Amino acid sequence: MKQYNSWNEIDQDTGGLVTSLTYIVLFLNDQVYNSTIELRDNIKDTSFYKHEVKKHVNDLYRFMRSYNTNIGVTAKVNQEALAIITQSMEDDIKPHIDRYGFAISQSLHNAGIHGGLNNLISISSTIDMLCQASKITIRDFYTAISKYAPLACNPLLYLSMDKAMFLTRRITDSLTPKDVHIDLNEIPTISTAFQAIANKLLSPEVFEKAFSECEIQ
């Protein structure tokens, strides 16, 4: 196995793998943050905002606010460049995230969940999906980079959204009526929507556009 002295050397030998996977995680986590704000804004004036739901929503909000405040320092990236790149990626990928949310909403509607509750569970389920995608990418980063350099631990674990995923699932479970039994993972339209997001995340064109916009700036 070749001896590497820096992430930049591995990045060059892997066609930008380190950079691309890191920014995928940063983008996904940014979407978790945005969706958390959306969930809090939509639930705080409703009758659902009480007891365990209220506690978990506020815990999720505090966790993501802390993450968002500190990410520029902990990730050691240029904050302005990060903002430009994630915005460009959002332009390309957010429509697919919205379609995923719509697929969730339609499935909930078919199961008898309507109105404001449908919207809240759709948002929390979308946050769950984004956390899962982030977790998968962090895992794939370790697997891919381990082929080039020995790693004692995964260097992207500090970006983990496990706590956000745990809190989101508690929120979803608390909001879902006990008489409704639905496995969203088994619904073809939701699986298709998720695959479309994954395809976009791994699209070289998305990264080339994002980084070229950053260079122009």
Query: Considering only CA atoms, which of 116, 104, 143, 131 is closest in space to residue 17?
Result: 143
Of 176, 186, 182, 199, nearest to 48 (Cα)? Answer: 176
Average pLDDT over residues 203-213: 82
- Ranking 47-56, 125-134, 178-187 by mean pLDDT, the lowest is 178-187
Average pLDDT over every residue of 65-72: 88
- How far is the C-alpha of 92 from the C-alpha of 215, rounded, in Å? 18
pLDDT band at 6 (very low <50, low <70, confident <90, very high): low
Residue 134 has pLDDT above 60, yes or no: yes
The predicted-structure confidence for 7-36, as pLDDT tens digits, reads as follows: 567 667 766 777 788 889 999 999 999 999
DSSP-derived letter for residue 157 is G
Q: Which residue has the tokens 């339609």?
A: 106
Q: Give the chain's largest Cα–Cα span.
A: 59
Mean pLDDT of the chain: 89
- Ordered by start, the domain boundaries in the chain are 7-216
C-alpha–C-alpha distance, residues 8 and 10, integer Å: 5
Res 171: pLDDT = 98
Closest listed residue to residue 135, CA positions, set 107, 105, 165 = 165
The reply to whether the predicted model has a pTM over 0.85 is yes
Token pair 């996977």: residue = 21
Q: Which of 68-77, 80-89, 103-112, 120-129 is predicted with the least confidence, judged by mean pLDDT?
A: 68-77
pLDDT (mean) for 129-146: 91
> How wide is the angle at C-alpha 145 spanned by C-alphas 85 and 16, nearest 5°?
35
Q: Tell me the mean pLDDT in the region 148-169.
A: 89
Comparing CA positions, the residue from 3, 135, 26 lying closest to residue 72 is: 26
Return d(Cα 33, Cα 85) in angstroms, integer. 16
Within 8 A by CB and 6+ apart from 47, the residues are none
What does the pLDDT read at residue 15? 65
